[in-house]
Amino acid sequence: MNPSAAAIRIQKEYLKKTRKSHALYKRSVSCFPGGISHNIRYFAPYPFYTKLAKGKHLRDVDGNVYTDYWMGHWALLIGHSHPIVTSAVRRQTSHGTLFGTVNKLSLDLAYAIKEGMPRAELIRYSSTGSEATMYAVRLARAKTGRRVVAKIVGGWHGYNTNLLQSVNYPFELDEGLGLIQDEEQFVESIPFNDLERSLKILDTIRDDLACIIVEPVLGGAGCITPESDYLHGLQEFAKRNDALFILDEIVTGFRLSFRGAADEYKLDPDLFTLGKIVGGGLPIGVLCGDKDIMSLCNPVGREKSEVACYIGGGTFSANPLTMTAGLATLKHVKQNKSAIYPKINKIGTRIRKGLKKAFSDGGVDVDVTGIGSLFMTHFLNKDIRKISSASDVGLSDRDLLRKYHFALIAKHNMFFLPEKMGAISSMHSLKDADHLIDATHQIVQSRLLSLSK
């Protein structure tokens, strides 16, 4: 079968098995712009609608069951609706869902975070990661009295306006309408894994540099690990020039290990952000860090003339349900960490190796990036032979990646949000790895992926 006939057949199979989702999507476009409420959740021809999620599985409204590798934007380290979490949340629901007052649960979660990450001397909760990174930037500006924020080309820190630059390939264009150019002059982008060029750029802005913010492993931009000394080089520059070094651990925190990426890479950030896993499946963002810096946002007991850096809002921040779910998750992870991390990392390693082999056996040129329980396939071409930065990802064959992920969904009931990295939870097993590798092998054999740009 030729590649385009194979693609048409897969599309037909998807249409046939997701009729109810199709009908819901048709209704959704009259409610939501594009039929969706989170931009990346759309994929062609329409996304399936999930009705139930348990363990490593998603069940859609048509009754199809998928093995999930998206795992709630990589947030669900211990799987969907883990009984430890759901029973704690159920109990808490009968005691109140939103107090709008201080509560002990927030303290318990803070101590659970500090146990894994002692650098979290003081903590502020928010309801999303986007808020946490927005707060981090504001605090850095407050601390340094400077304006410019350096971020990584392709780095994703959520939809806050401060950090909405160089997110989408080809990176040098505006990130859409509604952004003001005057604001953009205060953000500078530097290339991941190219320390020499990064330092050159940083040198030009060092007198006005408030902070460098970086994901230790580039997540949304392609699951790319740092080359040796890159992060240390940035940290050293920041510290030498009185700017803050901020680690965005919203994906890596409690995923790479119980102590996160700062520990893994022996870094000492001034501030760091958490989210995803620490909310236990409920909305959260967390800003953590050095107590002197964090104290700038302390609004209590100040003289009238003294102004704080205001970063503690949010009707739903520290709400008892999120605190409960996060606490139940971290307690479970702590108790089982010597089983969970080796297990998910072993599955990740098997998948990365197995996918590479399945593709290379079929003559398809890929790089499979990642670390621990995170992984992503990139289809190479004559220009891009290895993936080290977001630009390499942008220049790789995204069309083949979309086709591959869609074939996994439509033919093999394995869910990757098309074009996004995969994540393993403690609910996955080595058998899942083998099934994924086997499905990949079949897709390669079907010649669907023979068509290249």
Ligand X SMILES: Cc1ncc(COP(=O)(O)O)c(C=O)c1O
Is residue 332 close enough to count as binding ligand X by CB under 6 A?
Answer: no
415 has which bridge partners?
68
Is residue 219 close enough to count as binding ligand X by CB under 6 A?
Answer: yes
Is residue 419 close enough to count as binding ligand X by CB under 6 A?
Answer: no
Per CB under 6 A, the segment of 1-9, 54-62, 125-133, 404-412 that binds ligand X is 125-133
Q: Is residue 200 within 8 Å of residue 187, measured between CB atoms?
A: no
Q: How many CA atoms lie within 13 A of 104 on its CB side?
A: 1
User: Exactly one of 113, 251, 262, 409 binds ligand X (CB under 6 A); which one?
Assistant: 251
Is residue 319 close enough to count as binding ligand X by CB under 6 A?
Answer: no
Q: Which of residues 284-303 bind ligand X (CB under 6 A)?
A: 285
Q: Is residue 85 within 8 Å of residue 78, measured between CB atoms?
A: yes
Is residue 250 close enough to count as binding ligand X by CB under 6 A?
Answer: yes
Measured distance CA(222)–CA(218) in Å, rounded: 6
Q: Which of residues 74-103 bind ligand X (CB under 6 A)?
A: none
Per CB under 6 A, the segment of 128-136, 190-198, 310-318, 425-433 that binds ligand X is 128-136
Is residue 215 close enough to count as binding ligand X by CB under 6 A?
Answer: yes
Look at strands 271-275 and 209-214 and give their pairing: unpaired
Look at strands 122-126 and 148-152 and give their pairing: unpaired
Is residue 275 close enough to count as binding ligand X by CB under 6 A?
Answer: yes
Residue 416: CB minimum distance to ligand X, A: 15
Residue 215: CB minimum distance to ligand X, A: 5
Is residue 220 close enough to count as binding ligand X by CB under 6 A?
Answer: yes
Residue in the shown chain whose Cβ atom is closest to ligand X? 129
User: Exactly one of 128, 319, 377, 389 binds ligand X (CB under 6 A); which one?
Assistant: 128
Is residue 224 close enough to count as binding ligand X by CB under 6 A?
Answer: no
Residue 224: CB minimum distance to ligand X, A: 12
Residue 158: CB minimum distance to ligand X, A: 3
Is residue 188 close enough to count as binding ligand X by CB under 6 A?
Answer: no
Tokens, residue 270: 């001034």
> Of the candidates 379, 423, 422, 375, which has an alpha carbon nearest to the alpha carbon of residue 401?
379
> Of the candidates 87, 90, 88, 74, which has an alpha carbon nearest to the alpha carbon of residue 252?
74
Q: How many residues bind ligand X (CB under 6 A)?
A: 16
Is residue 124 close enough to count as binding ligand X by CB under 6 A?
Answer: no
Measured distance CA(290)–CA(269) in Å, rounded: 9
Q: What sign does the dihedral 191-192-194-198 (CA atoms) show?
A: positive
How many Cβ atoms are within 10 Å of 331's Cβ, its own excluded?
Answer: 17
Angle between helix 195-205 and helix 230-240 axes, rounded to 10 deg: 20
Residue 277: CB minimum distance to ligand X, A: 11
> Of the candidates 210, 333, 240, which has an alpha carbon nearest to the alpha carbon of residue 279?
333
Is residue 70 close enough to count as binding ligand X by CB under 6 A?
Answer: no
By C-beta, is 214 or 437 nearer to ligand X? 214
> Of the candidates 362, 345, 385, 339, which has an alpha carbon nearest to the alpha carbon of residue 439?
362
Is residue 269 close enough to count as binding ligand X by CB under 6 A?
Answer: no
Is residue 73 close enough to count as binding ligand X by CB under 6 A?
Answer: yes
Measured distance CA(314)–CA(127) in Å, rounded: 7
Angle, vertex CA 409, rays to CA 50 and CA 158, nearest 5: 65
Per CB under 6 A, the segment of 28-36, 154-162, 175-183, 317-325 that binds ligand X is 154-162
Does residue 283 have a cis peptide bond before it, meaning omega lies within 30 degrees of 0?
no
By C-beta, is 171 or 399 nearer to ligand X? 171
**Residues in contact with ligand X by the rule CB under 6 A:** 73, 128-130, 133, 156-158, 215, 219-220, 248, 250-251, 275, 285
